[in-house]
Amino acid sequence: MGYFGSSEHVQDYAIQNVAVRLRHHPNVFPPSPFGLRFAEVLDLRAGERVADIGTGTGLLGILAAKKGAREVIATDTSAAAVELAGFNARHLNAVEQMAVVQGSFFGEVSGCFDAIVANLPQEMVPPAYLDDLNADQAQALCGGSRGGNELLLEFLELAPRHMHAGSRLYIIVNTITDYKATLAAIGRNYRSTLVWEGVAPTKDFVAAHLGWFRERLDTGMIDIFTNPDGRWHARQFVYELSRLS
């Protein structure tokens, strides 16, 4: 799948005026333009305990560590991602306070975090495309599910257990999935502040399976649209969440 890349390579990024170097791997989702925008708007503070959920390449956890977090716990269900993020943290960025562990969401890690960042898989993917992915690629793109936001909904129910009264949780809501269900879950469990909103091109498989997506667009489940050049786009939002109680 070209979307994931076909070889390992090293790339440099400048995020919030912080230099981050990442090795990429064909089975680990690389930072997208929107993922980089997400990283730019995060409020990451020195001295805090930070969780990076679904770390992938390790980008967000490394950024938090470089901005002075006292401890960073980065998790991912993919063994390939855990190995890659650990390599990127230790060998390419010399980050010592970041631990990378394999597990779902918080895994076996206990306690509360001052800041939690979660760039979780959030794509509605047509079966014809999903069936061509290997297990790691399917997990990275949509959590291995066809609905797209099931992982995010599960996470939103769990996360308050790891938040104190002053914790900040940062998530992405993408309208290429059942975003109304996501917004409803936010309303049930959190106070929310919209940090950023914008639009971004959808992935190539949307145009290739347009009939499948139009069925979901017509029911109001998703919100995608074309710009003047005919390219399909989705709306995207970054929220900062805090516990209701």
pLDDT at residue 34, rounded to an integer: 84
Distance CA 181, CA 215 (A): 18
CB 99 within 8 A of CB 73: yes
b/e sequence 208-225, b meaning 16+ C-beta within 10 Å: eeeebbeebbeeebbbbe
For the whole model, what pTM was predicted?
0.90
pLDDT band at 146 (very low <50, low <70, confident <90, very high): low
- Which candidate, 136, 124, 128, 239, places its Cα nearest to that of 189? 239
Q: What is the mean pLDDT of residues 43-72?
A: 98
Helix (H, G, I), strand (E, B) or coil at 75: strand
Q: How many CA atoms lie within 13 A of 201 on its CB side?
A: 10
CATH assignment of the domain containing 11: 3.40.50.150
pLDDT beyond 70 at 206:
yes
pLDDT bin (cut points 50, 70, 90) of residue 219 is: very high
R_g of the chain, CA atoms, integer Å: 17
Domain encompassing residue 69? 2-243
CA distance 213 to 221: 10
Which string of DSSP letters, residue by residue, matches 90-101? IIIT---SEEEE
Residue-wise pLDDT for 83-110, tens only, equals 999 999 999 999 999 999 999 999 999 9
Total domains present in the chain: 1
Confidence grade of residue 2 (pLDDT, cut at 50, 70, 90): very low
Please say whether the beta carbons of 106 and 51 come within 8 A: yes
Closest by alpha carbon to 33, among 52, 17, 50, 13?
Answer: 13
Question: What are the structure tokens assigned to 58, written together?
Answer: 């390790």
